[in-house]
Structure 1
Amino acid sequence: MLNVNDQASQEEDRESRVLLLLGVGLDADLGEVTQRMWREIIASLSTFALSAAEREDLAAAAMLRFLERHQPAANPVAYMITIARRLAAKSLAITRAEQLTEDMTVIVSTPVHLRGGCEDEERNSAGPDDDELTQRSRRAVNSVPGQSGEVIRARLLDGLEPAEVARSTGRPRNQIYQEYRRGLAVARQAPEISPYIREAHVKRRRPSGDGDD
């Protein structure tokens, strides 16, 4: 059983190894060093559409991954920033994919088995194939022309909020909402998905943020 002195010695050894991995002197204060680096990593994520809490979590995860490697780097902060930015990009990609799947139900909300065609709607309880549903919906969205197509693609495929679309296009937000609704109507008529839509089942909702206020 370890006595207090042995435990203290082991803790000092662990702290020394961490300080060496972080590329600072053994006389540095570990808490101050990690806080400074953590803040630098968080600042590097400012260009990502993430909340403050998400940036903090990703910065902590990047630091942990770096330390778990047990291998020093020429520039530890730059290395951890690279890890954090990759994690952020992956997180956003997953979030956008999930949001796309959710938002596509605005376009196609009829429970059909796409591989079998709409005649299988009533007798097949397996529901739509998510990958094929998403592919068909993407093609439908990409087929929408004009300003409505620009807006609906920005919203559904790029994951932008109405305010972001308004800023990037220089158009009022109310116009963005109107173009989005027009784009949805056109997308529902696209041959890729129109056979699978029953108007009585179309959800009259908008993705989060699409209000008229």
Structure 2
Amino acid sequence: MNPNTSPLGLANLGPLDQLRAGRLPERVVRLLAGLWLYGVSNALLMESALGGSPWVVFHQGATLHLPLSLGVVMVLVAVAVLLLWIPLRQMPGLGTVANTLLLGPFTDFNLRMLDAPESLPLRCAYLAGGVVVCALATALYVGAQLGPGPRDGLMTGFARRTGWSIQRVRTCIEIVVLAMGVVLGGTVGMGTVVFALCVGPITQFFMRYLVLRLEAPAEA
């Protein structure tokens, strides 16, 4: 297997190569649509009040031990995750910047648009919808191949370097992050467990159809 391309066709392109790889307007639309849907997913999961994603649990737990706000902790964690990209030779790009700048505002906007459900069946529907939409959003904006966000870049980097499936890598990462969040004292609920176990397989399914296959540059 080409070490610069994952089994799903994710090419390890540099920032300039990502922009030159063709179909740029379509890829930018997919990137923005994916980030918007990720904001919808975050809002659905948070309004369900059944437990956040493993990363949210970890961020919440970290704030219990640091004199920092949740937002500052998320930024610091993102920077730390980006440092893990170095040994994986994962390349950043437009998508990495867009994820950092737009995901928060998109989440805030959708939280304002969604009413918190009162009944348990509707809360469960929010939870299920949040997980599915998160997987779809990930496949859209990662599949656009304009550079993933910090946390998804960790996933795709491991998948490319190891040859493991996106499903296997994402599930492993989510479980490890969740365990650290629990140790730190983060809030865990039924939704956290559902998210950790289900988002990987569903993301793998959507990635089969939504990755835009591009040609990686030939090595010297």
| Fold conserved between structures, TM > 0.5 | no
More helix, by proportion: 2
What TM-score does the superposition give when structure 1 sets the normalisation length? Answer: 0.31
